[in-house]
């Protein structure tokens, strides 16, 4: 038996060596594609092409008796690596005539990422931190873009100081609320204005497929190049009006972060046995625990700011707490029928999305289970 | 440019064809390994061997300039496919002398999975549903294992009927609470007893790496073969005492399901714009939305039973609601300092886990982002 196994394992070793070589070749080829695209200013992420390529590969897999989902998952993973390596060769400069770019708060985590991306795209980038505000007038004099990347609670007061920018300079911010900063920017600056919200953390390996939301202020024809530049990085640009954005964020950010925070506090209060919870956890619970736990490896100030960002947020969290309390009564009254009725109303409300979510999460839970270590 | 791109894309096509062929070869080889293992009753999932193989591949990748994480992720994904295909060839019968296996509730989703796994392992399996209880005495007469797989709220009353099993027959259940069913089984049956809790849903592609928790009743030497059989399916067996298990489940199941339920009800009540939420969502929020939404594609009865399973569960949910309410006061009082203090206490409590969770979830969020469709 040992001999038979060893022989097979040697063969698997050989296949894996070839697999490694192919992955290496593929990364190099895609890198060359990136260079060609870059010379011509094409985005590194082209959704339709990617979808067409994957459909073709799935069909080929099918005809060879390989599960189509396998080749799709493998290629998606390989593509991530390719997107990441695009950074190394830099990106085309869409607006070479632009003056310098000034990033205020460019030493913060997300600010640094934007500084890096602009520099990789051939722009002259200057950074202003807390300590070097005295250099600001000089840096602003030739600025083509000023990007505000400071904590939410400072955003408006920093913007208030930007009333001396050149008239054609674009003023933009990347705060996670949009209405207040946008109207402040419009009030202090007469030139083009756009509010941005990058929907990702500073630790992404590349901007490919990452969403950047933008809310128009004025002068969209003047900041088009900026959107185009971010599209070249691979980002998905999504226009939104500032009010709808802020309302959605009370759910997407404030409430979700607060419930994660509350769940963490609760676990600590209960003196839960984390080790046991992990030992007993299903892939889905492990994922949920990781999503809560990851919050507490990050900055409390950042989350305090996001959660306490607006009265709207507080009101949303409060309504959730009240709804939760109402539902709790179903349990206290052992009202199984009431629970089922409420459940079914929500199923109707989700409509086809619940099935889609079930399918989508199944794949992700399997990936989580694949990664499970001994 | 078009010509240059087309030429490169042709080369990528070629590489991908070879990739497909290699994946096909590898799956076949692993399948043969499975056959050899199976003849000798070795588990399909061997954590140490898997870890050693991956470490070797990572080192080889490093020396070829391929990112080690890439080959690890690709191989983990390929291994899932191999584990899944193991099912096709069946599993070794660890206890060929056993009489028949009777699965009560074997037409439910999870029951069906166990019926299938036992049959693939060469056992004679009989199923008893609601309608054919009259056949029970006959089926029990030669039973070597009776497995109870019925909804939680029926488990105890079904067990109560099992007082006529052969003395050497193993009595087991797969209910998601363990203390009450276990003591009931011990009361009605004099032979070997073990409580099981499979920590996964019925839709897993294979049992490889899936956790099955077991709580000893009596006669562990007599049910050892059962644990061994499940290990051969690839499951990770985890011993636990029934009380600690049930306490952990008030968090892992009841509270988590209830908060997902409450969040779904809240979204519906707020008439949230799901499409907008998805457009604006970061990978992490999309994942959270999917985890909530997937609940509502499933049976409300199942979840009502799990959530209302015990007084302990209700008390846990109530304490969470109270804690949430206390934390809400921090917001109402604009007490940022209090928020940060609470946050830091929880960070301390999580200890090194929060960093680990951050790292682990980063990989999963990247996978979620890889799968993002246009």
Residue B11 with chain A: CB contacts under 8 Å: 29
Residue A290 and residue B265: Cβ atoms within 8 Å? no
Residue B299 with chain A: CB contacts under 8 Å: none
Best mutation target, A268, A296, A355, A371, to test chain B (most B CBs within 10 A): A296
Q: Output the pLDDT for position A373.
A: 65
Residue A358 with chain B: CB contacts under 8 Å: 293-294, 297-298
Q: How many CA atoms lie within 13 A of B42 on its CB side?
A: 15
CB of A194 within 8 A of CB of A226?
yes
Q: How many CA atoms lie within 13 A of A35 on its CB side?
A: 10
| B66-122 pLDDT per residue, tens | 999 999 999 999 988 888 877 777 899 999 999 999 999 988 889 999 999 999 999
Non-local (6+) Cβ contacts of B140 within 8 A are B102, B146, B162, B164, B165, B166, B169
Residue A61 with chain B: CB contacts under 8 Å: 20
Residue A213 with chain B: CB contacts under 8 Å: 280
Residue A346 and residue B29: Cβ atoms within 8 Å? no
Residue A276 and residue B66: Cβ atoms within 8 Å? no
Residue A262 with chain B: CB contacts under 8 Å: 320, 323-324, 327
Best mutation target, B33, B338, B360, to test chain A (most A CBs within 10 A): B360
Q: Output the pLDDT for position B255.
A: 95
Q: What is the arithmetic mean of pLDDT over A348-362? A: 91
Question: What is the rounded end-to-end Cα distance, in angstroms, of chain A?
Answer: 25
Of all residues in chain B, the percent with pLDDT exceeding 90 is 74
Residue A51 and residue B373: Cβ atoms within 8 Å? yes
Residue A284 with chain B: CB contacts under 8 Å: 291
What does pTM read for this prediction? 0.90
Residue A22 and residue B24: Cβ atoms within 8 Å? no
Residue B48 and residue A374: Cβ atoms within 8 Å? yes
| A247-269 pLDDT per residue, tens | 999 999 999 999 999 999 999 99
Q: Output the pLDDT for position A167.
A: 95
Q: What is the arithmetic mean of pLDDT over A206-222? A: 95
Of B4, B336, B371, the CB nearest to A363: B371
Nearest Cα of chain B lies from the Cα of A3 at a distance, in angstroms, of: 11
Residue B324 and residue A266: Cβ atoms within 8 Å? yes
Q: Output the pLDDT for position A221.
A: 97
Q: Check pLDDT > 70 for residue A295.
A: yes
Considering only CA atoms, which of A98, A344, A314 is closest in space to residue B261?
A: A344
CB of B237 within 8 A of CB of B194?
no
d(CA A303, CA A151): 10
Q: Output the pLDDT for position B374.
A: 53
With CA atoms as reference, the chain A residue closest to B32 would be A8
Q: Check pLDDT > 80 for residue A58.
A: yes
Residue B19 and residue A71: Cβ atoms within 8 Å? yes
| DSSP secondary structure, B254-302, as one string | IIHHHHHHHHHHHHHHTT--HHHHHHH--HHHHHHHHHHHHHTTS-HHH
| B138-149 pLDDT per residue, tens | 999 999 999 999
Best mutation target, B52, B73, B307, to test chain A (most A CBs within 10 A): B73
d(CA B95, CA B21): 39
Q: Output the pLDDT for position B87.
A: 73
CB of B154 within 8 A of CB of B175?
no
Nearest Cα of chain A lies from the Cα of B349 at a distance, in angstroms, of: 6
Is the ipTM of this structure higher than 0.85?
yes
Number of A to B CB contacts under 8 A, please give it. Answer: 450
Q: What is the arithmetic mean of pLDDT over B38-49? A: 84
Residue A287 with chain B: CB contacts under 8 Å: 287, 291, 361, 364
For tokens 């070829």, the residue is B64
């Amino acid at each position: 038996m040992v001999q038979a196994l060893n022989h097979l394992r040697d063969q698997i070793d050989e296949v894996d060596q070839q697999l490694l070589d192919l992955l290496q070749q593929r990364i190099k080829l895609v890198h060359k594609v990136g260079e060609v695209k870059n010379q011509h200013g094409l985005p590194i992420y082209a959704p339709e092409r990617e979808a067409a390529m994957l459909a073709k590969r799935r069909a080929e897999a099918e005809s060879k008796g390989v599960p189509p989902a396998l080749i799709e998952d493998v290629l998606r993973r390989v593509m991530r690596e390719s997107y990441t390596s695009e950074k190394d060769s830099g990106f085309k400069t869409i607006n070479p005539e632009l003056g310098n770019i000034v990033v205020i708060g460019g030493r913060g985590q997300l600010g640094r990422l934007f500084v890096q991306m602009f520099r990789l795209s051939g722009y002259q980038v200057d950074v202003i931190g807390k300590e070097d505000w005295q250099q600001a007038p000089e840096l602003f004099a030739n600025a083509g873009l000023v990007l505000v990347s400071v904590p939410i609670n400072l955003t408006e007061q920093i913007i208030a100081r930007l009333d001396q920018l050149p008239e054609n300079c674009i003023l933009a911010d990347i705060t996670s609320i949009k209405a207040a900063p946008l109207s402040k920017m419009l009030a202090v600056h007469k030139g083009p204005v756009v509010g941005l919200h990058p929907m990702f953390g500073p630790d992404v390996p590349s901007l490919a497929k990452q969403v950047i939301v933008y809310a128009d202020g004025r002068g969209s024809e003047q900041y088009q190049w900026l959107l185009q530049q971010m599209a070249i990085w691979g980002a998905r640009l999504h226009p939104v009006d500032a009010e709808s954005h802020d309302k959605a964020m009370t759910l997407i950010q404030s409430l979700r972060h607060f419930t994660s925070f509350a769940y963490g506090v609760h676990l600590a209060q209960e003196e839960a046995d984390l080790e046991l919870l992990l030992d007993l956890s299903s892939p889905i619970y492990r994922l949920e625990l990781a999503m809560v736990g990851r919050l507490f490896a990050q900055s409390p100030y950042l989350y305090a700011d996001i959660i306490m960002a607006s009265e709207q947020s507080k009101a949303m969290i409060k309504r959730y707490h009240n709804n939760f309390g109402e539902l709790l009564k179903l349990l206290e009254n052992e009202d199984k029928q009431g629970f089922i009725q409420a459940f079914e109303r929500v199923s109707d409300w989700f409509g086809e999305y619940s099935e889609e979510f079930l399918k989508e999460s199944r794949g992700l839970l399997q990936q989580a289970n694949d990664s499970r270590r001994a």
